Structure 1
């Protein structure tokens, strides 16, 4: 199976986020690209010990906050955590351990004109 990145619509940006755990140490990362696929910004951080759900949700929150700080307000978000995306879309209840991070993401979405997950 070939997995291919698809660009956002014209004038939109796309945030791809991910998290990883290795030996209980967590890392987050995100990449922000424009409609031509050009990388506008990329970042990664080590965040110590955490659960994979926390790591994924922090990666999304940080990427979204960065996009908003840069003034981008038409945003597509893509990640591989169905639980995180479903929690944001209110299709699932977030685990208690990440509820505050999901609430942060909901708050951040109020600062953009359009957002798609």
Structure 2
């Protein structure tokens, strides 16, 4: 105990409870401060009347590993209009995120969507798209969407649990599919989204 008091706590010494903290204070041993985790409340909002909402996500297992994309488009009544998940092969998270976005916008264009709200979870991608900075590996597909995007109302924001499930499923199964059997946890997310419930 004297050694710990003399040298102070090391990385090996862990304070596991409030009781450990109290003992350290009684023995005049400096207690390392814990980083406080901030709780972020998120919830899905339905799009406005006549808008559709695209939630898209990419996933890479190992970040240069098996990668997949997934997404869904819902209308203002929370009804699913389109759903997709695709296996990409070997790719990074960044590549998968952009591929998911492109595939979702292509689907919206095929269905003649006139107002599209895009939600994804990679803040960097949101900023890049807002500034018109699209990476080379999707540039050809993106350039084919420019006239469509100029002709509709659209916005892009950050969020996404259901699309995350679709992308991970494609990466894990190494397969693409258009019909998805929802596990109970995802069905709960969809129901909570429709009711506007928050998520931590």
Normalising by the residue count of structure 2, what TM-score does the alignment of the two structures yield? 0.52
Runs of 4+ in 1 over 6 A off after TM superposition: none
Cα RMSD of the aligned pairs, angstroms, is 1.8
CA distance in 1, matches of 2:130, 2:41: 27
Normalising by the residue count of structure 1, what TM-score does the alignment of the two structures yield? 0.86
Show CA shifts across 1:16-58 (max 9, x none). 0001111410010011000111111111011100111110000
Higher percent of residues as helix = 2
By how many angstroms is 1:103 displaced?
6.1
What corresponds to 2:136 in structure 1?
A: 99
What corresponds to 2:131 in structure 1?
A: 90
Higher percent of residues as strand = 1
What corresponds to 2:49 in structure 1?
A: 10
CA distance in 2, matches of 1:85, 1:101: 15
1:88–1:105: 8 Å Cα contact kept in structure 2? no
Which structure 2 residue ranges, 5 or more long, are not aligned? 1-39, 157-200
Which structure 1 residue ranges, 5 or more long, are not aligned? none
* CA distance 1:106–1:6, change in 2 (3 Å): farther
**Equivalent residue of 2:42, what SS?**
coil
The count of residues paired between Structure 1 and Structure 2 equals: 113
**Equivalent residue of 1:20, what SS?**
strand
What corresponds to 1:52 in structure 2?
A: 93
- Residues 30-69 of structure 1: matches in 2 within 5 Å? 30-69=71-110
